[in-house]
Structure 1
């Protein structure tokens, strides 16, 4: 969509990860929806799991916004796409409020600066009283180009604990409203996995958690005051971060392949591509009418046996490649395009075998960070020399990599050269990088 829109918005942020901002955000989204609002959400930074939770709470797709990885036009168009039919936009921050790709760019605070949206700070109040107010004071004064418009204190204890925090806030920041005091509730904590939280589609009890969070927010947060803090922002532009891989793109989608950015998929649609979806775990192959196949990231290592035992899926990908169709894999999808995958128990599983690549989770090593990427050859992703920004986040180790051409040359957010990554063999391409936007 390209029409200009004006939608009120605000940001839910925290001093650090683990403060409970995701559950608080889910509670706010679900509680506002229950009040009859059409509320949509954004998630700051590179993240697949929190946006899926948001989608469960709002019934709408959650788009990522990233001031480091995205061009300004892409970020603005993403906000416009999320605003469609929405009464209110709520963006959940990433890590701590001021943490980002570099010291100068990529933080949640930078999104606040770019949009003018106020920040509501969620503070974990466990094991602190007056110090919680002192923490808010520090965040309030750290930068003068953003506004901390309100505070929600999370995981508070007794009434005395609440009184101490309120009195301390009144002493040091009387003009910053305390929007709520949310008591500690272990049942509302989200389980985690090695890449972060467990996926929304894997949690049978997620609805109960969201409903419980909504009830807790409804009881302990002044939602009218929070909603009144939102400020209007104008957004426009057509979302199209990456060029389509083909005219009809078959996208793998299930518990093993869930890490596809909604902005990328919607951008392909906006440029005229048709998308169809298939489940490798259900032994489905790609749509035979598709001229391109996208295997996104996810957790294939947790489902390696089922994938290796899915002949229709494996043969479908091989046949598509033999027919000259574009096959592209990111991270987990890249590993599945290889010859074999060793799971955490040391069991080897035969994969598609289109790329000379063997990977292992028995030899775990964390690979984490933003990536600047330059294509080393002409591909359906773009011409040789085309630059992208994205990120890498996995624990896999490469135990064997053959000699076909590398796909990208990579550097990190600080411009440190990381050398060539990925593989390109005829019409089959892949790497561990997740692409966010072209530059």
Structure 2
């Protein structure tokens, strides 16, 4: 979606430039082929304001998730996200202005309805490019046909993974049994309009990977395809020594120190900022049901070490009288206040104390209870490998997969957790933090 970002940025800049240009300067602009001649003589104050507005809407769009391709296929969600991004752009603009020292009084200098005009312009500039992108996707102009060489079971698994992650971009056009791989010829590929081939690892000793790659065709092993295009690990094809290629485990001292410093600063700022909210929530919890405000529970952390996690209590005191159990939708054990703080993730805020103590990171796989770790470790291969990094308040699985309460859900989330373990970086951490804001705002995966 980089192309969409570039188009949107320049569209916003020139639209706001023309909108904000003073009347005595507007005569310089003529929408003719000679129009570009005025670029070297841009009206400096207007250009800085237009740049500020463009940066603000770009930041808001990134946080809200408007650069995700799949959002263009969901009209209702697209409209909602667009409006929220427009509203979020105002505080984003104030943040940018603080950094760049650009005066924002121009927002209120024209007339009383000027902020409304800017907001509606934002909405229009966000919605129209994505509406066009939606039409292009609906027409299939961006869809890439892929052929899978392997067993039908492999094809079904890969097709299901594509449907979850990248709707509209890849389509399984053909499935070729491994024993019939010889019929995958240039002529056949042209007839089927195949963009690339996915080969199930070890599907056949004579699979034509080298021959197809020599034709300039993208050829992927299924494991590689999942990582590069679906941003998750293929657990069924994961080699036992996969950790040898896990770059996220070999970060240097500088990166580790920077990550720890960022965790401490962000945790302190969030605790200070949300302290009134925490106090109000604590009062409501006490009024709503008997019992302590804080909930303490053992969780498994880095290297399998057990630590005590802190949360705001959201369930009745007798919630686990029958033994440990995953929370489910409309869980009768959840209190009235508990339902709200779970929905908004307010119950997770005390975990910032765990971050300050070094037991958790800001980003990482979510820590599980010892009982569930033993159960899932027996049922799911590689489950214990997620303990090679610190657990986190948020994680790659949390922003890509909804809340689940089953072994299969845990398996799906593990595929994202192990991707994070392999590719962990400060850049990926930043993307996850931004995506978490979207998840909270739109209550994705709430339980």
Instruction: Classify the TM-score, shorter chain.
Output: under 0.3
Higher share in helix: 2
Higher share in strand: 1
Q: TM-score, normalised by structure 1?
A: 0.26
Q: TM-score, normalised by structure 2?
A: 0.26
Query: Which structure has the greater CA radius of gyration?
Result: 2
**Higher RCO by CA contacts (8 Å cutoff, separation 6 or greater):** 1
